[in-house]
Chain A
Amino acid sequence: MSSQTRRDSVLKAMANPLVLLLARCLLGGVFMFAGWLKFASPRAFADSIGGFKLLHDSILLEVGLLFIWAELICGLAMVIGLATRAAAGIATVMLLSFIFAMVSAVARGLEIECGCFGALLPEGVNVWSVVRTALLLLPSIIVTANGAGRVSLDGLLGRSTDQP
């Protein structure tokens, strides 16, 4: 099998409706769950962000609330499959920003709380948390590239592939 053929088959598999359904439900579910956990105590999440020492203290709560609502809204959009590519695009940007923040914390030797899943998973920022976040990039890129698939509100509205 040539590399061209192999690439085509991988791209075809990624555009499979079942793969898209699984990818967006996984990513959307994780985002909604993480957002909901942080929603319970936004100030605690804001302080977790402060631990990364990348933002000024005066805007931590505002930024924290933006992240929380972005996780909730984009998570819901991906699960029901409405405005899916836009939601997955925002999710991808958020994941990249999380990865950047975590890598910079690890590089600076900061021993801080990740804050990723609140009290459910109290853990420090480490290589594992970076890898776990990076793994979520795979479904987010797949959904950003291919849209929601047929089993979605976008699909019902006739925009299943969302091609430009």
Chain B
Amino acid sequence: MIGISKIQAFQLLILLVAIVLAASIHYQIIGEAPEVVITRAETDQRTVSEQPAPAPANLENARTTPAVKDEESEITPSPSQTQEIVLVSINHARELYDQGEVQFVDARSSGEYAKGHIAGALNLPFSEFSRGAPDAIDLLIPEFPVVVYCEGGDCDSAKLVAKHLSYYGFSDLYIIEDGYPGWLDRNLPIETAIPQ
């Protein structure tokens, strides 16, 4: 019942060419995304902006672990096209939190956010970026540091949200490596109220 005539093969070819052509033009229009490199914070490493992250007093990872970079960092085309996002420990995140002018973003789902989140954090799940810039982005100030977190460990949401924030002009970005569970374990400030 399923066979292919010459005309159907021709139609298939035309459709495939149209798809490739449209995708190529679209790619030319939106251009390549700026390269995003995720590094681990180091006391002697100047990371994302002119305003370096404060040197943490008790950063076991930072002292002992060399900077972890993606393979792409070896072939970085130009510094101006590279955006760095810094992985920080709970202690470092706490120091940023105490600075005050730092914005915390919870990349988990709204349900998990409602159960508990870092006090003052804004909920911005990755799915919100699927229709372009989410409204919640207007509540963030691009010039101020943004600390993103999710469940920690293998959780990718924080990385994806931080990466997309960089596309929208946020340059001072951090990710809490151990995520919300790590924050919770240290009995640091949390809340369950959802900001209106």
Show the binding face of A for B, using Cβ within 8 Å.
Answer: 11, 37-38, 40-45, 47-48, 51, 57-58, 61-62, 65-66, 68-70, 72-74, 77, 83, 85-87, 89-90, 111-113, 115, 118-120, 122, 144-146, 159, 162-164
B184–chain A nearest beta-carbon distance, Å: 19
Chain A residues lying within 8 Å of B164, measured Cβ to Cβ, are: 43-44, 47
Contact status B8-A38, CB under 8 Å? no
Cβ-defined partner of B18 (8 Å) among A45, A73, A85: A73
Contact status A90-B2, CB under 8 Å? no
Contact status A83-B14, CB under 8 Å? yes
Contacts A113-B126, A119-B130: A42 and B160 contacting too (C-beta < 8 A)?
A: no
Cβ-defined partner of B11 (8 Å) among A43, A48, A69, A86: A86
Contacts A69-B26, A164-B5: A74 and B130 contacting too (C-beta < 8 A)?
A: no
Q: CB of B128 within 8 A of chain A?
A: yes
A62–chain B nearest beta-carbon distance, Å: 6
* Interface set, chain B 1-40, CB cutoff 8 A to A: 1-5, 7-8, 11-12, 14-16, 18-20, 22-23, 26-27, 30, 32-33
Interface of A is mostly: helix
Using a Cβ–Cβ cut-off of 8 Å, how many residues does chain B contribute to the interface with A?
Answer: 39
Contact status A159-B7, CB under 8 Å? yes
Contact status A119-B14, CB under 8 Å? no
Additional A-B contacts beyond A42-B30, A57-B72 (10; CB < 8 A): A57-B70, A66-B23, A73-B22, A77-B15, A89-B12, A90-B12, A113-B127, A115-B130, A119-B128, A164-B4
Chain A residues lying within 8 Å of B2, measured Cβ to Cβ, are: 144-145
Task: Report how far A77 CA is from B8 CA in the complex, Å.
Answer: 13
Cβ-defined partner of B8 (8 Å) among A11, A40, A61, A162: A162
Task: Report how far A60 CA is from B167 CA in the complex, Å.
Answer: 16
Show the binding face of B for A, using Cβ within 8 Å.
Answer: 1-5, 7-8, 11-12, 14-16, 18-20, 22-23, 26-27, 30, 32-33, 70, 72, 109, 125-132, 155-156, 160, 163-164, 167
B108–chain A nearest beta-carbon distance, Å: 11
Cβ-defined partner of A41 (8 Å) among B26, B129, B155: B129
Contact status B1-A145, CB under 8 Å? yes
Task: Report how far A111 CA is from B72 CA in the complex, Å.
Answer: 25
Chain B residues lying within 8 Å of A41, measured Cβ to Cβ, are: 129-132
Task: Report how far A37 CA is from B12 CA in the complex, Å.
Answer: 25
Task: Report how far A68 CA is from B163 CA in the complex, Å.
Answer: 21
Chain A residues lying within 8 Å of B4, measured Cβ to Cβ, are: 164
Chain A residues lying within 8 Å of B26, measured Cβ to Cβ, are: 42, 65, 68-69
Nearest 3 pairs of A and B residues by beta carbon: A122-B127, A118-B130, A164-B3
Chain A residues lying within 8 Å of B160, measured Cβ to Cβ, are: 47, 51
Chain A residues lying within 8 Å of B132, measured Cβ to Cβ, are: 40-41
Chain A residues lying within 8 Å of B19, measured Cβ to Cβ, are: 66, 69-70, 73-74, 90
Contact status B33-A86, CB under 8 Å? no
Q: Which residue of A lies closest to B27 (CB)?
A: A65
Q: Which residue of A lies closest to B12 (CB)?
A: A86
Contacts A38-B130, A44-B130, A119-B127: A86 and B23 contacting too (C-beta < 8 A)?
A: no
Task: Report how far A70 CA is from B12 CA in the complex, Å.
Answer: 12
Task: Report how far A87 CA is from B18 CA in the complex, Å.
Answer: 12
